[in-house]
Amino acid sequence: MASLDTKLVNVLGDRTAKALETGIGAKTVMDLLRHYPRRYEVRGELTDISTLKPNDDVTILAEIFSVNVRPLHGRKGTILEVVVTDGSAKLSLTFFNQAWRERDLRVGRQGLFAGKVGEFNNKRQLAHPDYELITDGADVDSAVDQFAGKFLPVYSATGKLPSWKLAQCIALAVEALDDIPDFLPERIRLNHRYPTLREALTWLHNPTDLSQAESARQRLTFDEAFLLQLLLAQRKDQLRKLSATARPARLGGLLEAFDLSLPFQLTQGQREVGVEIESDLAQSHPMHRLLQGEVGSGKTVLAIRAMLAVVDSGGQAALLAPTEVLAQQHLRTLKKLLGPLGEGGMLGGSDHATQVTLITGSQSAVSRRESNALAASGDAGIVIGTHALLSESVAFHDLGLVVVDEQHRFGVEQRDGLKAKAQFPPHLLVMTATPIPRTVAMTIFGDLDVSTLRELPLGRQPITTHVIASLEKPAHLSRAWARIREEVALGHQAYVVAPRISASSPTDADMEFLFGNASQELTSVEELAPMLHAGPLSGLRVAILHGQLNSDEKEKTMSAFAYGEIDVLVSTTVIEVGVDVPNATMMIIMDADRFGVSQLHQLRGRVGRGDAAGLCLLVTTAEPESSARIRLEAVAASNDGFELSRIDLEQRREGDVLGVSQSGTRSHLRLLRVLRDESLIDLARKDAQDLVQSDPLLSHHPDLIQELKKISADESVDYIDKG
């Protein structure tokens, strides 16, 4: 008898075990049983041979009429052809290299034969059918009952392991299975009326009917969600037990002065989230919060308020931004919004003022030394930076809060690297403008508290988006350039986005990954800008921006654009995230089909940030009705980031949704689909939280601890840390 941890060698023998290890990476009985069927084939009611149609899955009762083995034409091997008849017609069954079946398949014997009807040389046939011969004198009716109406698992075959071979091995393993412990707490199992683990595994691989298979699948899917949520709940519980310095907001400090000087009223949502953040910061355990919100919903202000609260109570805050363009912009915004409050130590600075400094990879050595010193002494209450913030030379006097903007651009190590620069666990606020569906958030960011900003500030006009098919309607593209001229004439500004920097530069890896190789000629910034300048946009102030410019050039261009000294910015996706120039009202995206749905939504979020309406044109050469075109139409039809991110996620494979490493064949998420299994994840999360609350160390559930250990050991769970 076998347990789930028994090595396959001991159940199936050496050769088969080896084949299974190379084929599907299975070493133990559990590994093998986790190779779930893709679907089931039903051996249906008996069919007359005369009515068979190609591609039907059929079961017939027939008598063997002739048997014939011959060598394969021009190749090694034999073919066994068995012709059967049911009186209504004849049908041929073929087996390759299985001449040994001749011993059983003798003329005159009756049997049941099942398979998919194929056609060869205009003759219908079944290749490698399942069959069961009926022993002479046996009860034909009961043989039929047993054979037909059965649900046969179909497995994804790999290499040398066809589905039927896998089915055989799995059936043997299921048969050998002893009484096995069930890690799912019985109370939870009974509550959901799930089968035991043993039943579930047996039913999934060998159901008597589809409802059995379904209930097995439910249970095993629940297991996946439950274990994951349990890990997250435990992690959250541990975080809650860490101690951090409480940073309660102080009356009469920077935060209050900032609120008074704000040129606008906070939205209802901003106020609510602001309160959540402030009360988190006032706790003596670290805040661990994700702020997600629609593009342009005003997350930056909330980050600034959180940072000021921390500065007010004597600590420092670091703001990590994914690009230099964005880091520079944050510095400009802060300086503008803080005014004298941000000029601490300087003449004319306010009494309780602080200093804001910027650390990036490409600043000069002198200015870098200056910034480092301000951070280390604590004179800079707020330190903004790119990845450079993580370098060893950067130290803080008392880092109390880490804010990560556009967190999806960073890995866990980077976030943790910055956190490690604090003496005590700092508070953490991560922000993302790619709103994701709730269950995905719960799964990826399960150990974070989530705040969501759904509304845009009052007075925003919706962005209108159109798709322009530049091949079918070239006139529309000319019209698009003319529209830019009109916007500029009204005193507004525009972006033109292209997928690559120069004719020779590759597109970015993400795009290759999503859309395959970029063999098609793609528009480049360096080619497009002079063309526009000499042609349709002549006389306008056109500038270019991309990642390969040095930091001075980037800063100069971006701030010139922000101050309205540039009319049209021709750029790569470096402006995708965060860039905020409210006077820009129009965007044209070239080769828009090269970008993902959420990415397009992010990009166009650069316009329509002020009180004038925004216009975004998606230019494409993709065929009408192509999936690329449909994707673009979807973006044009909706301004709802949540809906679009769902569309985006639905197009990815599950591993990519969760960011699981691609090699994760051993990943324990096999059945769970975070978009589809929303209610199941809800249930599992609730159960997991209740359990951790009553028994944080799971001391009453040793089997569960074992099971969690197995998952944690699996390297592919790093997605859990994505927060």
Tell me which residues touch Mg ion (CB under 5 A): 578
564 binds, among ligand ADP, Mg ion, none (CB under 5 to 8 A by kind): none
Nearer to ligand ADP, 187 or 336 (CB): 336
State the Cα–Cα distance between residues 433 and 486, nearest whole angstrom.
30
Reduced 3-state DSSP string for 388-424: HHHCCCCCCCCEEEEEECCHHHCCHHHHHHHHCCCCC
Smallest distance, ligand ADP to C-beta of residue 705, A: 41
CB distance 566 to 560 below 8 Å: yes
Bridge-partner residues for 616, per DSSP?
Answer: 465, 587
Q: Minimal distance in Å, beta carbon 305 to ligand ADP?
A: 11
**CB 299 to ligand ADP: min, Å:** 4
Report the residue closest to Mg ion, judged by CB. 578
Please compute Rg for the chain using Cα positions. Answer: 32
Q: Which is nearer to ligand ADP, 116 or 332 (CB)?
A: 332
Q: What does 425 bind: ligand ADP, Mg ion, none (CB cut-off 5 to 8 Å by kind)?
A: none
Which residue, 330 or 533, is less far from ligand ADP as judged by CB? 330
Residue 666's φ and ψ, nearest 5 degrees, are -90, 5
User: Of the two residues 421 and 460, which places its CB atom closer to ligand ADP in the complex?
Assistant: 460
Query: Which residue's Cβ lies closest to ligand ADP?
Result: 298
Q: What's the closest the beta carbon of residue 263 comes to ligand ADP, in angstroms?
A: 8
Min CB(396)–Mg ion separation in Å:
23
How near is the Cβ of 428 to ligand ADP at its closest, in Å? 18
Q: Is there a contact between 604 and 616 (Cβ–Cβ < 8 Å)? A: yes
CB of 607 to ligand ADP, least distance (A): 11
- Whose Cβ is closer to ligand ADP: residue 31's or residue 294's? 294
301 binds, among Mg ion, ligand ADP, none (CB under 5 to 8 A by kind): ligand ADP
Enumerate residues 6+ apart whose C-beta is below 8 A from 720: 228, 231, 232, 235, 444, 446, 447
Residues that bind ligand ADP (CB under 6 A): 264-267, 270, 293, 295-301, 433, 457, 578, 580, 582, 609
Identify the CA nearest to 383 among candidates 327, 449, 423, 337: 327
CB of 700 to Mg ion, least distance (A): 45
Spatial separation of the C-alpha atoms in residues 239 and 288, rounded to whole Å: 8
**Residue 264 binding: pick among ligand ADP, Mg ion, none (C-beta 5-8 Å cut-off by kind):** ligand ADP
Residue nearer to ligand ADP on the CB measure, 61 or 291: 291
Of 628, 612, 616, residue with least CA distance to 588: 616
Q: What are the DSSP calls for 195-220, one per residue?
A: PPHHHHHHHHHS-SSHHHHHHHHHHH
Residue 381, binding choice from ligand ADP, Mg ion, none, Cβ under 5 to 8 Å by partner class: none
Minimal distance in Å, beta carbon 406 to ligand ADP? 8
- In angstroms, the first-to-last Cα distance of the chain is 43
User: Distance between CA atoms of 296 and 459, rounded to whole angstroms?
Assistant: 12
Cα–Cα distances in angstroms (integers) from residue 268 to residues 272, 275, 276, 455, in the given order:
6, 11, 13, 8
Reference 582, options 312, 350, 296; nearest CA is 296
Q: Which is nearer to Mg ion, 207 or 435 (CB)?
A: 435
In the complex, least distance from residue 262 CB atom to ligand ADP, rounded to whole angstroms: 8
- 353 CB neighbour count, 10 Å cutoff: 21
> Environment class of residue 260 by beta-carbon count within 10 Å: exposed (0-12), middle (13-18) or buried (19+)?
exposed
CA dist., res. 463 & res. 51, Å (int): 59
Q: Which one of ligand ADP, Mg ion, none interacts with residue 270, CB within 5 to 8 A by kind?
A: ligand ADP
Q: Which is nearer to ligand ADP, 231 or 433 (CB)?
A: 433
Find the shortest distance in angstroms from Cβ 646 to ligand ADP: 19
Q: Between residues 301 and 635, which has the closer beta carbon with respect to ligand ADP?
A: 301
In terms of CB distance, is 344 or 578 closer to Mg ion? 578
Q: In this complex, which beta carbon is closest to ligand ADP, that of residue 245 or of residue 300? A: 300
Q: Please report, for residues 247, 372, 693, the alpha-carbon distance to residue 344 in angstroms, rounded to integers and kept in the order given.
A: 20, 17, 46
> Which among ligand ADP, Mg ion, none contacts residue 298 (Cβ within 5 to 8 A by kind)?
ligand ADP
What is the rounded CA–CA span in Å between residue 689 and residue 6? 32
